[in-house]
A and B are shown apart, each in its own frame.
Chain A
Amino acid sequence: MNQNLFTSFNVPVILGIPLVVLIILFPITLIMPSNKLINNRLSSLQQWLVQLTLKQMMMVHTNKGRTWSLMLLALISFIALNNLLGLTPYAFTPTTQLSMNLGMAIPLWAATVFMGLRFKTKASLAHFLPQGTPVPLIPMLIIIETISLFIQPMALAVRLTANITAGHLLMHLLGDTALTLMSIYMSSSTITIIIIILLITLELGVALIQAYVFTLLVSLYLHDNS
């Protein structure tokens, strides 16, 4: 039972060739940019979604922060597509691997911090001290704010990993339960199946929301520092 649960999170390798590269690149084939004014249905749908998310996300930023729009848009579509594709049966979700999420979170967070420190040193250092704190508390508060700053990339990566992994694991467990219960008590099996259906709708939501949250937080750090 122990081995069966976690084998779906194994990185797929055939004869030593990491096929995980192919799986990470697969969502690219689903996005088809075209050079016509009026496209086919799929491209028009994608274009409309892209415009919607871009407007929502980049409204709060200054002109300097808006140079990041391509990066943030690519981020949100990458995470959302990978999470959604991972919901197909037997698929491998690359966002369950902490290595990949750390690789996404740390450079982006570091970029926002360094950008803030380079262009607006005083303002970004001033973020360490909230307004109106009583004077004796200042040293402790600065230590706390520094720790919270350094925890940001870890929190970003671990949040995404944990959410997606937990959802997948729960679905595996409930599926196993429903299957074994079917031969014993039919009624509890139907209840479990209904729970699984609800969970799948939740997973669809979580897949999209996690992408959104990740990107939103990165854009928040950007806003603070630009």
Chain B
Amino acid sequence: MVSVIPMKDKKLLEVKLGELPSWILMWDFSPSGITRTFQRGYYQYCNKYINMRKGSISRITMVLGCYMLFSYCLSYKELKHEWLHKYH
């Protein structure tokens, strides 16, 4: 593996496919590291979509759509029985 830039600073699109496992293992898995990642992600979303002077309603409905998807995945087990099949 020949890399000129140290691997930790690379973004996902710049990592070569063979280097992917070692790139993932380089993440910070401690509790403070994980909280920092979530905080960064939250503020990135906020700054990109919500901190505009004229933000629109689609910014919030994106969040609600993701929440709906998440709840669907959670209750998939019970919803399996409610599909319109001829034989259950």
Min CB distance, B59 to chain A, in Å? 8
Q: A32-B46, A40-B50 are in contact. Are A88 and B75 (CB under 8 A)?
A: no
Verify B71–A91 contact, CB threshold 8 A. Answer: yes
B74 proximal to A (CB < 8 A)? yes
User: Which residues of the other chain, B, contact A26 by a CB distance below 8 angstroms?
Assistant: 67
Restricting to A195-212, which residues have a CB under 8 Å from any CB of B? none
User: Which residues of the other chain, A, contact B71 by a CB distance below 8 angstroms?
Assistant: 12, 88-92
A14 proximal to B (CB < 8 A)? yes
Min CB distance, B72 to chain A, in Å? 5
Q: What separation, in Å, do the CA atoms of A92 and B81 have in the docked complex?
A: 18
Restricting to B29-56, which residues have a CB under 8 Å from any CB of A? 42, 46, 50-55
User: Which residues of the other chain, A, contact B46 by a CB distance below 8 angstroms?
Assistant: 32
Contact with A along B48-85 (1 / 0, CB 8 A): 00111111000110011001100110110011011000
User: Which residues of the other chain, B, contact A7 by a CB distance below 8 angstroms?
Assistant: 75, 78
Q: Which of B51, B55, B60, B75 contacts A30 (CB 8 A)?
A: B60
Verify A14–B74 contact, CB threshold 8 A. Answer: yes
Verify A40–B53 contact, CB threshold 8 A. Answer: yes
Q: Which of B64, B67, B75 contacts A8 (CB 8 A)?
A: B75
Interface size of A in residues (CB-CB distance below 8 Å): 21
User: Which residues of the other chain, A, contact B53 by a CB distance below 8 angstroms?
Assistant: 40-41
User: Which residues of the other chain, A, contact B54 by a CB distance below 8 angstroms?
Assistant: 41
Verify A92–B50 contact, CB threshold 8 A. Answer: no
* B interface residues, Cβ below 8 angstroms from A: 42, 46, 50-55, 59-60, 63-64, 67-68, 71-72, 74-75, 78-79, 81-82
**Lowest 8 CB-CB distances: which A-B pairs, in order?**
A7-B78, A90-B71, A12-B74, A90-B72, A91-B71, A41-B55, A40-B51, A88-B68
* A interface residues, Cβ below 8 angstroms from B: 4, 7-8, 10, 12, 14, 19, 26, 29-30, 32, 34, 40-42, 85, 88-92
